[in-house]
Amino acid sequence: MHISFTRITALAFFVFVILNTATAQQVNRCATDEKVTKHLLNNPAAAQNFFSILENARTIKEEREAGLRGGSPMRYIPVVFHVIHEGGTENISKAQIEDQIRVLNEDYTRTNADTINTRDVFKPVAANSNINFRLAQIDPDGNCTEGITRTFSASTSNAGDNVKGLIWWDNTKYLNIWVVRTIESDGGQGVTLGFSSLPGFGGGANDGIVVRADCIGTIENVNQQLGGTGRTLTHEIGHYLGLIHPFQGGCIPTFFGETIEDTPPVANPNFGCDSTVNSCTNDNPDMPDMIENFMDYTNDECMNMFTLGQKDVFDATLSGNREELVSPANLIATGTGGTPAVACAPVADFYAENTMVCEGDLVGFEDNSYNGTIDTRAWSFPTGSPTTSVSASPNVQFDTPGFHNVSLTVTNTQGTDSKTVNSYIYVSPENATINNWQFFEGFEGDNSNNEWLIFNEGNVTTTWQQVSNVAYSGSKCMKISNNSGNTSGAIDALIMPSINFTAITSPATLRFKVANAQRPGTQFSDASEDRLKMMISTNCGKTWQTRWNKAGADLATVSATSSAFTPTSQTQWEEITVNLNSFAAQDNVLIKFEATSDEGNNIYIDDINLTGPVGIEEAISENDFSVFPNPSDNTIFVNFNLNNDEVVELSVNDLTGKTVRTIINSKLNKGAHTLVINKNELNASGIYFLNLKTNNSIIVRKILFF
């Protein structure tokens, strides 16, 4: 059976069937459809590589059926597993990875024990693909490796293509497999177990497979409810080598008009192990659904085969787009040519259960070194207690507020390696930095954010920065550049100095200004979903509670634009108000602004204002309250109207909350009043707080003398 299409028609058809089939799925075990569709629509030229593979596969099939083609030699694919983790069960062992390699080699050579379950009708087309997978023994820099890397990152949860930016080896020489805790749904339904790039799609650093850690192999931390047999990776590597799902397009032949004839079309994904289903009766010959096929969605225990036609696609891929991967020269370069594995020197690595703690807390560290057996280790904690350790899991006390450095040196008979992370542990002071009932930060001074903390996961160059000539008021603010420079999934935190909330008049309120534009979607891509959260910690940053959270169109304060966004007027900013009543009794509180990039557009924040209440039944209406001119180089007039005779206190405080001048503190009659503040009555030019208090109301305004 063969249907002829022009390439343009076939491309449109391929996009159509992927989009329509993906949305019909009951669950989303594999997100390859969604990923490939995005790559294809963003880069239609990538399809040309796929056309070439399929044309080559057709030729291989014809030669095979005519007896003109001998059996394929064994092909060896160098593999590297990048374990992305936060120290949990997703930080899987070398043994679990080696068990997955065993599963792959059995499935791709049809030496898997469950081949006996292949039904007789399909046994004639069941294929030994003659493909083996080997963990790399030489890394891209020519160093000895076990074919496993380990990277500590919060991106292991709800992972997507973003984890590929954390670590990547040359995709022409290695099959990159990123192992994560969980995977984003990306528009699918249900739990996503993995996704892969097709040959020629994604390209470069996007080429490879992302898979859940609890679907790797059959031992240790595998999740039996999700399969437990290692077939998720068998399935995803099928995509990596050129296969799409047999249910793509339903009963209509796909593969750009070229069907794999010995793999019966399937109307919808199959789940479970129903051997009686025959969803496409229009095929010739009419065959039952091949629930045994590794590329359907059946349970792992039902899967046991690839077909000869699918092997033709593998052969075409490995002699075309991925030819260098299996070349003899590359096997030598990656150490996968069949020589016995050699022992490697270790690579020093570690992580802490918490990198933000309170003064005097114990911090638990874990030696996460890899690449070789550790014979000896030596920790260094110059400002901790103890200052040294040889334990794999030391507990260290830090009594001095501020940042602390940590080092680890590991050794075996092959060599020694060390890792030092400066400013790795942050210790919050026992007593809060801010003890006034009000706090304001406008980021105006050259060093206005000295006491602010910036945490930049991955230590890339793009993070929160103070910028000039952009502000809601004044001339400076803080900015995160998601439009260029910040990778998808990057998390950047900006943390205020610690605050003693017991000194704040209840109810406490945090107000801040935010400006953002969404990057618009097109027919080829979704609109961006940059995210900004405001979070609270009452235990020095060990855990956080989200108090405000917006993303995408909800975060945007102006219309979407693909150009780099810079606010040019106050109307392009939005004031956010967050009630913090529930924290009024806490004496050491941290407030964090956390941005997560979707490579959308820039986010700005300014004028962070922590105050007590503005009364509801106010003696002074805010509508009748004005401060003019502001800013000023000499004199500011304060105009207000009293609803009743009231005792009024008008004072000016500096940024630390200290009162620098009391303008009035006496009873005033009902009606309109004007008070004057002169610059020469204050200490110097700068930003101040104007506080107008009555018996049951407080109004706060920021004023600026220049």
Name the residues annotated as catalytic. 236
Residues in the chain, overall count: 706
Q: Which amino acid is at 696?
A: N
Task: State the Cα–Cα distance between residues 291 and 265, nearest whole angstrom.
Answer: 11
The sheet with strand 646-653 has its strands ordered as 659-668, 646-653, 686-693, 698-705
CA-closest candidate to residue 74, choices 40, 45, 27, 108: 108
| Residue 573 near residue 564 (C-beta atoms within 8 A) | no
The residue type at 456: N
**String of DSSP letters for 79-119:** EEEEEEESSSTTS--HHHHHHHHHHHHHHTTT--GGGGGS-
Helix (H, G, I), strand (E, B) or coil at 403: strand
Please give the Cα distance from 417 to 441 (Å, whole number): 44
3 state DSSP class of 589: strand
Evaluate whether 695 touches 646 at the Cβ level (below 8 Å).
Answer: yes
- Residue 624 corresponds to which tokens in the numbers above? 């009748």
Scanning 328-429, the segments in alpha helix (DSSP H) are 328-334
**Is residue 519 within 8 Å of 555, Cβ to Cβ?**
no
| Element containing residue 50 per DSSP (H, E) | helix 47-65
Close Cβ partners of 287 (under 8 Å, ≥ 6 residues apart): 121, 264, 278
Helix, strand, coil in percent for the chain, rounding step 5 = 20, 30, 50
Asked if 488 contacts 160 with a C-beta cutoff of 8 angstroms, the reply is yes
Radius of gyration of the chain (CA): 31
Q: Is 679 left (phi over 0), alpha (psi -120 to 50) or beta?
A: alpha
Cite the beta strand spans of 340-397 per DSSP E.
Answer: 350-352, 356-358, 362-367, 376-380, 388-389, 395-397
What single letter denotes the amino acid at residue 646?
E
Query: What is the C-alpha to C-alpha distance for residues 494 and 496, in angstroms, rounded to an integer?
Result: 7
Two structure tokens written together for 282: 């229009």
